[in-house]
C-alpha cells in the first residue's frame, strides 16, 4: 500500500486552510498524514514540513494544492523537490491540476516547469 501524505501551508494566521483540508479528506488521506504550517514560505524551516519529510517512506505520494505551497524561493523548491523525489523516493500530486493531467503527464509537466529558468 502506498503511503499518502498531504501538505498544507498558509502564509498567515488569517488565511484559511479549511478548503485544503477538505480536499485532502476527500482524497482519503489519513488525518495523521496531513501536515500543516501557518507561516511564510520564505524558507523550509517549518516544523510540520520537517516532521512530514522525516516520516515519509519510499514510494510515498505527496499531495499539495500547488507548487507554491512548498515555498517561495525557486532554488529551495528545486532542492526540496530533489530531496523528496530522489532521496526519499516520493512522488508529487498537485491537487490543482488533478483534473487536467493524468499522473504521468503531471510528472512530465512538473519536471518541465521546474526546468524553466
Verify whether residue 66 is a known catalytic residue: no
**Active-site position among 11, 12, 40, 48:** 11
Phi, psi (rounded to 5 degrees) for 61? -130, 120
Spell out the SS3 assignment of the chain. Answer: CCCEEEEEEECCCCCCCHHHHHHHHHCCCCHHHEEEEECCCCCCCCHHHHHHHHHCCCCCEEEECCHHHCCCCHHHHHHHHHHHHHHCCCEEEEHHHCCCCCHHHHHHHHHHHHHCC
Residues annotated as part of the active site: 11
Amino acid at each position: 500500500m502506498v503511503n499518502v501524505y498531504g501538505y498544507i501551508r498558509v502564509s498567515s494566521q488569517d488565511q484559511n486552510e479549511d478548503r485544503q483540508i477538505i480536499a485532502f479528506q476527500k482524497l482519503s488521506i489519513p488525518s495523521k498524514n496531513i501536515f500543516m504550517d501557518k507561516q511564510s514560505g520564505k524558507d523550509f524551516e517549518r516544523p510540520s514540513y520537517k516532521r512530514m519529510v522525516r516520516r515519509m517512506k519510499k514510494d510515498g505520494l505527496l499531495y499539495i494544492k500547488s507548487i507554491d505551497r512548498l515555498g517561495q524561493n525557486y532554488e529551495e523548491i528545486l532542492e526540496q523537490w530533489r530531496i523528496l523525489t530522489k532521496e526519499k523516493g516520493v512522488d508529487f500530486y498537485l491537487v490543482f491540476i488533478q483534473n487536467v493531467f493524468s499522473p504521468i503527464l503531471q510528472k512530465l509537466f512538473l519536471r518541465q516547469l521546474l526546468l524553466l529558468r
